[in-house]
Amino acid sequence: MPKAVYADLAAQRIIQAAEGWLALGATQAAWEELSSVDAAYQMNPAILYWQAQILVALGRLGEAKAVVRRLAGLAPTWRLALLDDPALEPIRL
């Protein structure tokens, strides 16, 4: 399996685990899961998107805004998703 594909699968597994923790109300565990992603993939739009959601859930709104700005600059196609996500309502820019 090519290394890039493996990395994408690894990132997907981390995102799924974080989503699971978040669904269970274990917000800190969700954050720790996302924080475990390899540094090379921390600019992955999906990782950033979930980081923003979890930071909002943790009440870390300033950090969440910074992540949203980074994501919007890195992947402009994600802007609509950011605007439509009710979980990000507390940090509407």
Q: What is the pLDDT of residues 53-91, one digit of tens each?
A: 999 999 999 999 999 999 989 888 888 888 888 888 888
pTM exceeds 0.85, yes or no: no
Architecture label for domain 3-91? Alpha Horseshoe (1.25)
pLDDT at 30: 95
pLDDT at 93: 57
pLDDT, greater one: 9 or 17: 17
User: Can you count the helices (H) and strands (E) in the chain?
Assistant: 5, 0
Task: Please check whether residue 75 is in contact with residue 45, taking contact to mean a CB–CB distance below 8 angstroms.
Answer: yes
Percent of the chain with pLDDT over 70: 91
Report whether pLDDT(3) > 70: no
